[in-house]
Amino acid sequence: MRKFLLSGTVLCTVIGAGSAMAADIPAPVYKEPMLAPPVFTWAGFYIGANAGYAWSGSNSVNMTGTDTGGGGLGSALAGGGIPASIGLSADGFIGGIQLGYNWQFGQWVYGLETDIQWVDGEDSATVRTNVPAFFPIRTSVSRELSWLGTLRARLGVTFTPTVLAYVTGGLAYGEHELALSVVAPAAAPPMNSRATSRETLVGWTVGGGLEWALWENWSVKAEYLYYDLGDHDVTVGYAYGGNTSSLTARSDVTGHIVRAGLNYRF
């Protein structure tokens, strides 16, 4: 009986000591696995706005004239009564919105972008002459680029994951107005010839830029574009003494754009 009681006492002591030791062992701590930071990508749709400055590539309006008899517009042009060329700058603010999509393969990024811009590009000039062989003549021209749009491909390379350099080129189109007037009250009959031509012209554009990612969805860019919308002309006529004459003003619609933009990618 004593042996049984002694064995029970020892067993209880061992069990109690084991429980105490188990209580002293700290519970395991669960740690979530560390996740790699997401890789930045330029791929996907984006939309944004831009603003900058535009200036014309050709600052002259050139004149050509015809006559069926001496003394008309063609003769006045040939004799210096009408200037052969008048300078116009048509520089100003440009701003608008853009929409595009990028694909990315490693460091290479390519995509498509379209934009539409409002342009504050208007200029006018008047030249007065009083050549002895002709009566006093006042020749006036004006030009205005109201808006400009482009549809371009972009090809770029990333210097760092968040810095993109690219070249771009494609279609350009815009609305251009060219006006011409020739006034000579002392002519016989008095001359007051005026005409205005407003057309949507289509051409091409090329350029390049840099784009920096600020946050996951936002980026800023700085860009240069050269555009060429071709030629635009307007013609006035004058009839005198059974003869007819004409004067045509022609302008090359080309220009340069520097602008900054903000894009949101989604």
Q: Is residue 256 in a domain?
A: yes
pLDDT at 176 over 60: yes
Domain-embedded: residue 174: yes
173 lies in some domain: yes
**How many domains does the chain divide into?**
1
Residue 191 lies in a domain: yes
Are 117 and 149 in contact, with CB atoms under 8 Å apart? yes
8 Å CB contact between 34 and 243: no
Does 90 map to a domain?
Answer: yes
The single residue listed with the structure tokens 């006529």 is 237
The Cα 168–Cα 137 span in angstroms is 46
Q: State the Cα–Cα distance between residues 241 and 154, nearest whole angstrom.
A: 59
Residue 28 domain-assigned? Answer: no
Q: Is residue 34, in this structure, part of any structural domain at all?
A: no
- CATH code of 197's domain: 2.40.160.20
Mean pLDDT of 94-110: 97
pLDDT tens-digit readout, 206-261: 999 999 999 889 999 999 999 999 999 999 999 999 999 999 999 999 999 999 99
The parent domain of residue 243 ranges over: 44-265
CA 151, 156, 157 angle in degrees (round to 5)? Answer: 170
pLDDT at 8: 45
Model confidence, pTM: 0.83
* φ, ψ dihedrals at 5, nearest 5°: -65, -40
Query: Is 27 domain-assigned?
Result: no
